[in-house]
Amino acid sequence: MSKILLDIQDLRLSFFTPAGEVKALNDVSIRMNEGDVLGIVGESGSGKSVTAYSIMGLTAHPGRIIGGTIDFNGHRIDRMTEKEMRKIRGNEVSIIFQDPMTSLNPVYTIGDQIREVLFLHTNLDKKQAQHRATELLKLVGLNDPEKRLKQYPHELSGGMRQRVMIAIALACEPKLLIADEPTTALDVTIQAQIMELMIELKKKLNMSIIMITHDLGIVASMCRKIVVMYAGKVVEKGTVEEIFYNPKHEYTKGLLKSIPKLNATEREKLVPIPGTPVDMLNPPPGCPFAPRCEKCMKICIRSMPEFTQISDTHASACWLLQKEAAQALKGGNSIGK
Amino acid sequence: MEKKNNFSFQLDVTDFLPADESEKQSMVIMRESTSFWKDGYRRLKRNKLAMISFVVIVIVLIMAFIVPSFYPYSYEQQIRGSENLGVMEYSKEEIARMEAGEKVFPHLLGTDSLGRDITIRLLMGSRISLLVGIVASVIILVIGSIYGSIAGYFGGKVDMIMMRAVDIIYTVPDILIIILLSVTLKYPLRDLAEKVPGFQWIETVGVGLISIFIVFSLLYWVGMSRIVRSQILTLKEQEYVVAAKALGASSSRIIRKHLLTNSIGILIVTTTLQIPASIFTESFLSFLGLGVSAPMPSLGSMASQAIGGINSYPLRLLAPAAMISLIILSFNLLGDGLRDAFDPKLKN
Amino acid sequence: MGAYAIKRIASAAVTLFVVATLTFFLMFLVPGGPFLSEKATTPQTLKALEQKYGLDQPVGVQYVNYMKRIVMGDLGTSLKMRGQEVNDIIGQRFPVSARLGAIAVLIAIAVGIPLGSVAALNRGKWLDNIIMFIATTGIAVPSFVVATTLMFTFGVKLHILPTYGLSSPMHYVLPVMALAFYPTAYISRLMRSSMLDVLGQDYMRTARAKGISQFKSLFKHALRNAVLPVITYMGPMLAYILTGSFVVEKIFTIPGLGSQFISSITDRDYPLIMGTTIFLAFLLITMNVIVDIAYKIIDPRIKLK
């Protein structure tokens, strides 16, 4: 197997707001290998973006990591100073944000903004940087790169701007690229184009990617492994096949039921998950999904289930699995007797 | 199958019974839902500065509009022998009267060179400032809302022509025109008051004051009309307006019932912030001698007259200066508070 | 860009035309018209004056003549200062006011922008609270209050600064402070809120994600965006400084155009009032056009419009 690139262990992160401590991440553990494409799915507020930002050391005020470790490419991110982090950001790990319309500085040209990251992390001179910037724009499929470099962000469309953001992210050939819902703010046709570009770049550059999204379609087309998050917790993780064909957690099942299928043979209904997420200011002691879960049991309300390992790669945190396991074990025992 | 935890042998079977709805709901803490006004009011109450300002404004209003009616001195009363008294001083005559057992109300802030009590003049000056601020803002509100809502509601060519006019007035250097109007307007107004029956009230209110109202309402409504128009433009696309139209409601009913009521928050905030702006300009005009006419005092004219004697009687300058600053500051802070509470988006 | 400039200049010309027209007709509200002094009572002088100013002609003709003279740059003759051209008076007095105003503008910008930025970066802390308290008070205090308070404190009580005229650099201190106080406070508030807005923008996050130091991202990415709203305040600021100059020049006895304008009002020197009004309106409108066009050049987003 290939080398472990990122290892997040029991990460806990809270936002200390005037209203109280918001526990945004609770014991999040994620591991990925070099060359992996990992999808993190979950609804808004589930902590998927917060997890990604913490890998960049970009936890926004008033958020703070209060426990756990982040190990990236041999760096202990959670222990690094801001100054050390700056050498890694945009260099070894870079990020593409959700909204390309607002992620580029409106008063600088595209060229300025690409060259900026090159000057920060490489020793290229002006001419070389210009050359590299042109190359990058070609790489992300923008025509007429020399002209684009002189343009301002507002002169480009949303899709083009996202391509520029990707170019900036790829400028220093990072080990890991984090894509934080890179297509959510774009039109459907543009979404497809950007996804195609990402898949193509992945093949070309063989880098590791974390794809954060609530769109399971994107995950299916691109990722090999999936982490499902709910209310600041990882509830299930596994390979694409395992998650799609053998979901174990009730939330994952709900998610899969709520996406439309094109090739549905009979008239299938889309089933939304009823209810709203729990209040993160006062998180309940039990499973956060319990209030919305159809199969909620008494124990779910009282305590958080441990992970049940279904296969080497597949694990899910649900009391139902514990129950099944216990029953299987008891059955086994009775047979033995 | 492998398990991480090994307490499965001690599992209590009852734990795995289905939970009922009430148990599930106990996990969901719903925050109380509040109405727009309640929510805004709560936010306003939490803003200490705004609440203090509100109290200050109420106190100043009482001092300016109620206290003078039973104050023992009047603003134009010249008490002979009591000229240029200091704080809490009495003239010889007054001391004699006091010795005779008569009660004499003290001159809290002294008197001016004509023997007029400064305290009552300060209160009357505040009354003028507040009157100008509030009346002018209401006039601006009325003209601006009507003009803006008509332009915004009808849109198209009507809107274009009406807004072009607003643009021109907007770019006119207002202070110059205000000065010009203040210089010239008093002549026709005086004529009107003297010659045309039914207009004598102009003299009672004061030509200066009336001309200030006219000047402000002629120039300052444009800002208000722009705000109202843009509110209407966004609101009229909303479904409920389309629904009302489909049900056959008349234009004026739609403007009154749906559009204006929905932009009321922004109107209150803008009007509150217009008050100090008007007071600001009035005090400036009075300082230059273009505001209300003597003997009516205004905080600006009181300060202006006191400059000559700044060495000997600094209080005559500092008292109106402090008063005007306090009034404007309080209205500004209250307006800021209202804006933060009711329309956070309006910031700048 | 060129089209915008032309459009903007054309609309400024319309505004100026409106101001001139308004000025002319407002002056007719004055009994006897603006060109006659009350003292010219003898029929002969009256006749002579009427002929000189063409007052015997119909209003329409007078208006056309008046506008013609303005377009030629002739603002007429003062009533009270016999024989003095309004143009000459302005030429003499304006440089004094302009110098004072320019210094005040520079100080307001140089002090207001850093103050506002510092407040934004220390949001909610004591430094922010102090700066915002001063700034909020600053915009609530009329210029005459600032000017008189400064004069009283530094001139009358402490005797450390001169309060009369402009004969030495020290003489500039108090009037400039009085003029710059309000704009400085206003710019600080404006800069603070615009800085806070910019700091929360996505592109600031992008900058950090690139690995730029916070200090550098502040100067390179935040400041340039945050300053833009301040540029839009330049127009109103010039108008405010002009207005302030009326009061401040009067209080500190400065021989500028502001004090001249005020005394022309008390003297009822109507031709001088009209001339100065038109000159100042021209000045303000022109400056506004320049600011607007400069803004379009500085902010690349607006070029398309």
- The minimum CA-CA distance between B338 and chain A, rounded to whole Å, is 21
Query: For each successive 10 residues of chain A (337 residues), what is the average pLDDT?
Result: 85 85 89 90 86 88 88 89 89 90 90 93 92 92 91 90 92 91 84 86 87 85 90 90 90 82 62 73 80 83 85 88 73 45
B19 and A296: CB-CB below 8 Å? yes
C-alpha to C-alpha distance for B262 and B276, rounded to whole angstroms: 25
C210 and A87: CB-CB below 8 Å? no
Interchain contact A105–C (C-beta under 8 A): yes
Of B184, B283, B325, the CB nearest to C26: B184
Residue B335, Ramachandran bin (φ over 0: left; ψ between -120 and 50: alpha; else beta): alpha
Q: How far is CA C238 from CA A29, B63, B279, C183, in A?
A: 60, 37, 20, 9
Phi and psi at residue C77, to the nearest 5°: -120, 145
Looking at residue B34, what DSSP letter applies?
Answer: -
**pLDDT for C48:** 72
Please identify every stretch of chain B with a pLDDT value under 50, giving residue numbers as ranges: 1-9, 346-348
C-alpha to C-alpha distance for B83 and B79, rounded to whole angstroms: 7
Beta bridge partners of A234: A229
Compute, in degrees rounded to 10, the torsion defined by CA atoms A129, A99, A209, A52: 110
Q: Encoding tokens for residue C295?
A: 């803004």
Nearest chain A residue to C302, by CA: A154
> Where are the domains positioned within chain C?
94-267
Residue C73, Ramachandran bin (φ over 0: left; ψ between -120 and 50: alpha; else beta): left
A319 and B16: CB-CB below 8 Å? yes
Which of A55, A81, A98, A116 would you mutate first to test chain C, the one with the most C CBs within 10 A?
A: A116
Architecture of domain C94-267: Orthogonal Bundle (1.10)
Which of C8, C9, C145, C230 would you mutate first to test chain B, the one with the most B CBs within 10 A?
A: C145
Interface residues of chain C, partner chain A, Cβ below 8 Å: 201-203, 205-214, 221, 224-225, 228, 299-301, 304
A298 and B11: CB-CB below 8 Å? no
Could you give the ipTM of this predicted complex? Answer: 0.82
Q: Are A19 and B29 in contact (CB under 8 A)?
A: no
- What contacts 24+ positions apart, CB below 8 Å, involve B74-80? B74/B120, B75/B116, B75/B117, B75/B120, B75/B121, B75/B123, B75/B124, B75/B295, B75/B296, B75/B297, B76/B116, B76/B295, B77/B116, B77/B117, B78/B114, B78/B115, B78/B116, B79/B111, B79/B115, B79/B116, B79/B117, B80/B115
All residues of chain A having their beta carbon less than 8 Å from the beta carbon of residue B28 are 275-276, 278-279, 291
Which comes out higher in pLDDT, residue C150 or B309? C150
Global pTM reads: 0.82
Taking a contact as any Cβ pair under 8 Å apart, which residues of chain B between 10 and 49 contact chain A? Answer: 11, 14-19, 23-29, 31
C206 and A105: CB-CB below 8 Å? yes
**pLDDT for A168:** 93
How close are the terminal C-alpha atoms of chain B, in Å? 63
Sign, Cα dihedral of C52, C53, C54, C56: negative
All residues of chain A having their beta carbon less than 8 Å from the beta carbon of residue B3 are 308-309, 322, 325
C224 and A107: CB-CB below 8 Å? yes
Interchain contact C242–B (C-beta under 8 A): yes
Nearest chain A residue to B2, by CA: A309
B175 and C242: CB-CB below 8 Å? yes
All residues of chain C having their beta carbon less than 8 Å from the beta carbon of residue A82 are 214
C-alpha to C-alpha distance for B290 and C232, rounded to whole angstroms: 30
C144 and B276: CB-CB below 8 Å? no
**pLDDT for C104:** 94
Nearest chain B residue to A279, by CA: B29
- What band does C110 get if pLDDT is binned at 50, 70 and 90? very high
**pLDDT for A164:** 94
C140 and B276: CB-CB below 8 Å? yes
Domains of chain B plus CATH, in order, are 122-346 (1.10.3720.10)
- DSSP string spanning chain C? -HHHHHHHHHHHHHHHHHHHHHHHHHHTTSTT-TT--TT--SHHHHHHHHHHHTTTS-HHHHHHHHHHHHHTT---B-SSSTT-BHHHHHHHHHHHHHHHHHHHHHHHHHHHHHHHHHHHHTTTSHHHHHHHHHHHHHTTS-HHHHHHHHIIIIIIIS--S--S--SSHHHHHHHHHHHHHHHHHHHHHHHHHHHHHHHTSHHHHHHHHHT--HHHHIIIIIHHHHTHHHHHHHHHHHHHHHHHHHHHHHHTT--SHHHHHHHHHHTT-HHHHHHHHHHHHHHHHHHHHHHHHHHHHH-GGGGG-
Interchain contact A221–C (C-beta under 8 A): no
Whole-number percent of chain C with pLDDT over 70: 91
**pLDDT for A130:** 93
**pLDDT for B345:** 53
Of B188, B300, B324, the CB nearest to C29: B188
**pLDDT for A299:** 83
Q: How far is CA B113 from CA B78, B301, C148, in A?
A: 9, 15, 20
Mean pLDDT over C71-97 rounds to 84
**pLDDT for B32:** 57
Across chain C, mean pLDDT equals 85
Q: Are A164 and A142 in contact (CB under 8 A)?
A: yes
